[in-house]
Amino acid sequence: MGSTAVQIDPETYPAQSGKTQDSQGVPHPVFASRTSLRPADVAIRAAIVTLTLSTAYIHSTLGGLLFTLNAVGYAVAAVAMVIPLALAVRFRWVVRLGLIGYAAMTIAGWAIQGPYYSTAYVAKAIEVALIVLVAVDFARMDGNPVTVVKRELGAFTALVSRRRAAVGASA
């Protein structure tokens, strides 16, 4: 009895085959195309991930479900900031706005509920710095948030109207 090697179709399973392009050389839609990040962009993104993981660590050491879930949320946001999947890259602006809102709500929740001890002040300082850095990253990479939201809503409306026209034409 001999062993049979399983052949992986690179068009169907590009990640398992190690192939990131289709037969015409077009990047597979799962993987992000290479973007030209300047050294400052990489430094800002690294600082964002470091601050995010730092506050996640602080929250994970506090115990309790609320702090643990907060730590998990920060860890997921850190991964979302750097993962090279096409969907994450396409909607990184949503990740940025979400991270700003998450950190702001964490600060607001702490201000309302407490406890007010020295580690909490360190975590809040990290979160304020995180909000500032993410806002800088948003401005550098995406521009004006209002323009970005208008552009995305326009793209969504165009998609819906194209699909409606296609359904109407086939009926």
pLDDT category at 147 given cuts 50, 70, 90 is: confident
- Say yes or no to pLDDT of 14 above 70: no
pLDDT category at 86 given cuts 50, 70, 90 is: confident
Q: Given this model, what pLDDT does residue 15 score?
A: 44
Closest of 109, 96, 111 to residue 144, by C-alpha: 96
Ranges 7-21, 25-39, 156-170: which has the least confidence:
7-21
User: Which residue type does 44 have?
Assistant: I
User: The tokens 């509920």 sit on which residue?
Assistant: 113
Q: Given this model, what pLDDT does residue 166 score?
A: 81
Domain limits of the chain? 38-157
- Of all residues in the chain, the percent with pLDDT exceeding 70 is 79
- Say yes or no to pLDDT of 21 above 60: no
Q: Given this model, what pLDDT does residue 8 score?
A: 39
- pTM (2 decimals)? 0.72
Q: Given this model, what pLDDT does residue 13 score?
A: 40
- Say yes or no to pLDDT of 2 above 70: no
pLDDT category at 22 given cuts 50, 70, 90 is: low
- Residue 114 or residue 55, greater confidence: 55
Cα→Cα distances 132→4, 7, 51, 81, 109, Å: 56, 49, 11, 15, 19
Give the C-alpha separation, 47 to 37, whole Å. Answer: 15
Give the C-alpha separation, 65 to 72, whole Å. Answer: 10
